């Protein structure tokens, strides 16, 4: 397994409200990316809390359960729910954190499977045999407009309300989580990214940079560099994992 990571505040934002987590334990290959939202530094607080709570909770649960698929799925759900509870509680108890929340996309690999937990519009992609697949579905207003036929997929990329998300961790007392399980094969590349990347680059540009760069760290750095060259309108965070 080869891992790359890169984050940037971009060209416009004053601070970076993205957070990420990469496990240092080879026996627990867990990866998380989060894009915070909220005034002042509330988004930064929300995303940081999310990755801290989810990583700690998930890893503690994994140590104490048998490693079947249902147990892993439940551990993902419980970890995100715990983060949601804590972020929501802080948002209603502290006025400066009012309304804060964060996207969360997390991935855990074991026994040839990738388990994804997803809330918001940060994305998980899988590159296999030179084809890029978007694993997650955005929880966003423009995604709803695409689904009901109001706008096209291409129009969604430039829609003025493309940053409005319909689901986030910490903004409500309860949160619905998407769970996805994908079988992985040798040579697959898993990419987790915030919308600062996907708002600047299309899928074809992302795919090409992943294909031409065997080094995952170099690929992440170039993805962020190109996003900044195209405007860097938001924070940009990328985690890439190549399964050897």
- CATH of residue 171's domain is 3.60.40.10
Per-residue model confidence (pLDDT) at position 16: 96
User: What is this structure's pTM?
Assistant: 0.94
Tell which residue, 225, 222, 198, 203, has the closest CA to residue 212.
222
Tokens encoding 239: 């985690």
Give the domain extent around 187: 2-242
Asked if 134 and 204 count as a contact pair (C-beta separation under 8 A), the reply is no
Distance CA 33, CA 50 (A): 9
Question: Taking the C-alpha atoms of 193, 194, 195 and 201 in order, what is their torsion angle to the nearest 10 degrees?
Answer: -30
Q: Give the integer Cα–Cα distance in Å for 146 and 141.
A: 9
Contact in structure between 228 and 10 (CB atoms under 8 Å) = yes
Task: Describe the chain by its helix, strand, coil percentages, rounded to 5.
Answer: 35, 25, 35
Percent of the chain with pLDDT over 70: 95
Split into its structural domains, the chain has a count of: 1
Q: Tell me how crowded residue 57 is: count the other CB atoms within 10 A of its CB.
A: 18
- Scanning 129-215, the segments in alpha helix (DSSP H) are 141-147, 153-157, 195-198, 203-212
**Is the Cβ–Cβ distance between 151 and 145 less than 8 Å?**
yes
Task: Give residue-wise pLDDT tens across range 53-98.
Answer: 999 999 999 887 677 899 999 999 999 999 999 999 999 999 999 9
pLDDT band, residue 181 (cuts 50/70/90): very high
In which band, very low, low, confident or very high, does the pLDDT at 196 lie, cut at 50, 70 and 90? very high
Q: How does the average pLDDT of the chain come out, rounded?
A: 93
Q: Which of 14-28, 144-158, 195-209, 223-237 has the lowest mean pLDDT?
A: 144-158
Tokens of 174: 């309860």
Looking at residue 155, what is its pLDDT? 67
Confidence grade of residue 160 (pLDDT, cut at 50, 70, 90): low
Q: Reply yes or no on whether the pLDDT at 39 is more than 80.
A: no
pLDDT in tens, 117-154: 999 999 999 999 999 999 999 997 777 777 787 777 76
Residues 114, 119, 123: CA angle, nearest 5 degrees: 60
23-36 average pLDDT score: 92
């Amino acid at each position: 397994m080869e891992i790359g990571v890169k984050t940037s505040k971009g060209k416009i934002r004053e601070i970076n409200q993205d957070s990420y987590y990469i496990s240092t334990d080879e026996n627990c290959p867990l990866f998380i990316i989060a894009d915070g939202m909220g005034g002042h530094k509330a988004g930064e607080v929300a995303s940081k809390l999310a990755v801290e709570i989810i990583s700690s909770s998930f890893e503690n649960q994994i140590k104490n359960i048998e490693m079947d698929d249902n147990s892993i799925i439940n551990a993902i759900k419980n970890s995100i729910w715990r983060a949601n509870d804590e972020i929501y509680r802080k948002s209603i108890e502290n006025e400066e954190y009012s309304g804060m929340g964060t996207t969360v996309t997390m991935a855990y690999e074991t026994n040839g499977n990738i388990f994804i937990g997803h809330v918001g519009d940060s994305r998980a992609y899988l590159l296999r045999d030179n084809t890029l697949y978007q694993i997650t579905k955005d929880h966003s207003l423009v995604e709803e407009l695409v689904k009901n036929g109001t706008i096209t997929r291409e129009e969604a990329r430039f829609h003025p309300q493309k940053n409005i998300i319909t689901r986030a961790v910490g903004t409500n007392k309860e949160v619905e989580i998407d769970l996805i399980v994908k079988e992985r094969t040798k040579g697959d590349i898993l990419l987790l990214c915030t919308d600062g990347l996907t708002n600047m680059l299309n899928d074809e540009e992302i795919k090409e940079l992943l294909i031409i760069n065997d080094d995952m760290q170099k690929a992440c750095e170039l993805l962020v560099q190109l996003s900044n060259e195209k405007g860097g309108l938001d924070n940009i965070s990328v985690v890439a994992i190549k399964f050897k």
